Structure 1
């Protein structure tokens, strides 16, 4: 009729076989735990940008990236923003310069740097600066709390 020494039937596809209580799956069998995703920085809200433009909210620090190469400027910016956040600052001015005929490498790359994974836990938003603060060659950057 049926053989009692035969192996148990395989588990249905997509399910793992039952395991003994108290035993954990080996490290290689466990799915990796993804870190909590940080939302990407957004455009500053109009009221906040207006207060920064009119200097009702102070610009607490500035960095000028003129004269740096692309990779050096990225490192300087990252270190500056992380340092400002650690000191509890909330709004800073990043001066990139306009580049020759409006096409600077740093100016073109800064948006990518600010929205990248390295600075997602630091930057809450950014917007182009007012003309008196550098216009198209500068950005207001707001920072998250510590």
Structure 2
């Protein structure tokens, strides 16, 4: 009798364990299914939100791209600015550098007398001219510096600088002539200069010989 009672109790315990295990398995399956459904909803969130979509019709469109900007010659600009800042002093003493003759010609050290003689005689053709008439002193200095630099850079060898005879200046003194001589002596591109021949301007102009330069476009 007691043995039968224990057997029934054991069977009841086993049944409870099986039922608990089944419930746990069912709960686990439900949790996994819910997790899969949540992931599916996340993947389809856009479609679920906006509904069905369809592709737009193809259009004949052309896409334009802005042309690339031209490269800036930065080094050239830097060089230009450096040269523009070069000081051509009005206080420079040029008297000791000029040849003592009636025309006060100039030749850089190492340049022979034959160079100024040929320059005065028209051996080199005048290729370019700068007329400084009517310019103030600071304007004339800047114009002269730019003119000499550009002429040298483009391979010009011989130029004429017209400074005038000073007939319109107070006291009829050629102030600009003396300044032009000072400025030219300070320009490293200048090898020599002489007073122009009468047919080229005489006392109102200088003929200048420049150092040979590598010819290139201005």
What range describes the TM-score normalised by the shorter chain of this pair?
0.5 to 0.7
Q: Please, what TM-score do these two structures have when normalized by structure 2?
A: 0.43
Q: Which runs of 5+ in 1 are unaligned?
A: 1-37
Give the helix-richer structure, 1 or 2: 2
If you compute each CA radius of gyration, which structure gives the higher value, 1 or 2? Answer: 2
Q: Please, what TM-score do these two structures have when normalized by structure 1?
A: 0.62
Q: Structure 1 stretches (4+) deviating beyond 3 angstroms?
A: 38-44
* Residues in 2 aligned to 1:40 and 1:106: alpha-carbon distance in whole angstroms: 27
Residue of structure 1 aligned with 2:198, choices 118, 131, 135: 131
Q: Which has the higher contact order (CA 8 A, sep 6+)?
A: 1
Aligned CA-pair RMSD: 2.5
* Residues in 2 aligned to 1:46 and 1:60: alpha-carbon distance in whole angstroms: 17
Matched, 1:80 2:80: no
Q: Which runs of 5+ in 2 are unaligned?
A: 1-107, 214-218
Residues paired across the two proteins, number: 103
Is the CA contact (8 Å cut-off) linking 2:165 and 2:204 kept in structure 1?
A: yes
* Residues in 2 aligned to 1:81 and 1:48: alpha-carbon distance in whole angstroms: 20
Residue of structure 2 aligned with 1:106, choices 176, 188, 208: 176
What is residue 34 of structure 1 aligned with on the other side? Answer: none
Give the strand-richer structure, 1 or 2: 1
Report the CA distance between 1:105 and its aligned residue: 2.1
Is the CA contact (8 Å cut-off) linking 1:42 and 1:124 kept in structure 2?
A: no
Q: Which residues of 2 match residues 1-146 of structure 1 at below 5 A?
A: 45-52=115-122, 57-100=124-167, 102-116=172-186, 120-146=187-213
